[in-house]
Amino acid sequence: MSDLKITFPLTKLPDVDREGGMPLMKALANRKSARNFSSKPLDLKTISELLWAASGINRPDGRRTAPTAVNWQEIDIYITLKEGLFLYDHKNHALKGIIEKDLRAHAGRQHFTETAPVNLIFVSNYNNITGKYADNIEMKKFYSATDTGFISQNVYLYCASRGLITVVLGIVDRDELKKHMNLADQQHIVLSQTVGWEEP
């Protein structure tokens, strides 16, 4: 699996073993933030599992490993790799190539984002928040932040289970990153999360 390559415009991700990983109580006991990342890349199978754990589809009706209010599914997961910027395509369990440029340095304001192999960027699409909150920015912010928290914790637990390290980042220059990512007006960066192997 580790020789599979990330390619533009689309990389189909390998299937996920839903029986794998360590017992939940052990993963909870190991969950922590850490920042001493090595630059060693993640193989595609690990990226596949990471994204599925984060908020992959886990039921035939298209619902996901992380809940969202009203099932809005408003949080998109972008991923910055050395190879470029990609968007997780939940339906096809694939990576869509977005920009063929290394944007890792912009994923946060701490130096490790630049060399760590993976930064996830959680982006809320406010257009998905419909109904009575369609014109309520405060509630859009509130639900986007809440729904991102569940995804982030899934990432923390997957990392604990897989022996990876991670830290979620609120200190992000959102305006600058949004420009680098060519995001649309209705797309709002909530948090980033760096993932990688621990520097030995």
Compute the least distance from the CB of residue 31 to ligand FMN, in Å: 7
Interacting residue with ligand FMN among 167, 177, 189, 195 (CB under 6 A): 167
- Our CB check for ligand FMN shows the closer of 12 and 109 to be 109
Q: Which of 7, 33, 36, 146 binds ligand FMN (CB under 6 A)?
A: 33
Closer residue to ligand FMN (CB): 121 or 169? 169
- Tell the smallest beta-carbon distance from residue 154 to ligand FMN (Å): 14
Token look-up 């754990």 returns 53
Per rule CB under 6 A, is residue 168 in the interface with ligand FMN? yes
Binding of residue 32 to ligand FMN (CB under 6 A): yes
Nearest approach, Cβ of residue 110 and ligand FMN (Å): 6
- 51 counts as binding ligand FMN under rule CB under 6 A: no
Tokens 């996901």: give the residue. Answer: 64
Site residues, ligand FMN (CB under 6 A): 32-33, 35, 110, 167-171, 191
